[in-house]
Amino acid sequence: MPPPIEFWFEFGSNYSYLSVMRIEALAGGAGVPLRWKPFLLGPIFRELGWQSSPFAGQKEKGEYVWRDMARRAAKYRLPFTRPAVFPRRAVLPMRVALLGADQPWMGEFCRRIMLQNWAHDRDIDNAGTVLAALAGLVADPAALVAAAGQDPAREALRAQTAQARALGIFGAPTFMVNGEMFWGDDRLEDALEFARALPQG
């Protein structure tokens, strides 16, 4: 089996949206194990000297990114609506994603959250949205959301974000394969190809 692809992503990241919607099917088709790695971009950006997304701070770059997003979403046949709030806070669903990272419902949960943000322009950092995204996926959505509000979940997300920084991750989505970094949605296929070319264990 090829080595796994680690998928480092954030629900508030526009290019992570494109990858979240595609990666499970692509990794499965390539026979590459997938490891979901939710983390927070905000603390990393601040450590790098940015108070917000670099796309939000420069008008020309920001306008280009939104046009690029529309083109790429159309290419992948994904719905896309420029959100009224960017970057949008996503701490609660990120904690839930970390709690469920090894569960079979993880991919569907992430896709549902991303669609709420990037297709329906809805607040995703609230219990109602997260409970709706978990409906039919877990036996007790309320218990999972409650667990996401406790200190262990908070600390786990902080630790995962620190791990991302220690790996040299500076943006999302980032794909790590056997220590090799690939940054950006347009490098997803390259990362999977790299994994398939490595000696199998």
Q: Which domains does the chain have, with CATH numbers?
A: 5-197 (3.40.30.10)
Regarding pTM above 0.85, the answer is: yes
Torsion of CA 13, 103, 113, 159, to 10 degrees: -40
Q: Which residues of 114-130 are buried (b: 16+ CB within 10 A; e: fewer)?
A: bbbbbbeebebbeeebb
- CA 93 to CA 126: how far, in whole Å? 8
| Angle CA 43–48–154, to nearest 5 | 10
Q: pLDDT 10s digit of each residue in the chain, 201 long?
A: 899 999 999 999 999 999 999 999 999 999 999 999 999 998 887 887 766 566 666 778 878 999 999 999 999 999 999 999 998 999 999 999 999 999 999 999 999 999 999 999 999 999 999 999 999 999 999 999 999 999 999 999 999 999 999 999 999 999 999 999 999 999 999 999 999 999 876
Element spanning 177, H or E: strand 174-177
- CA 169 to CA 181: how far, in whole Å? 8
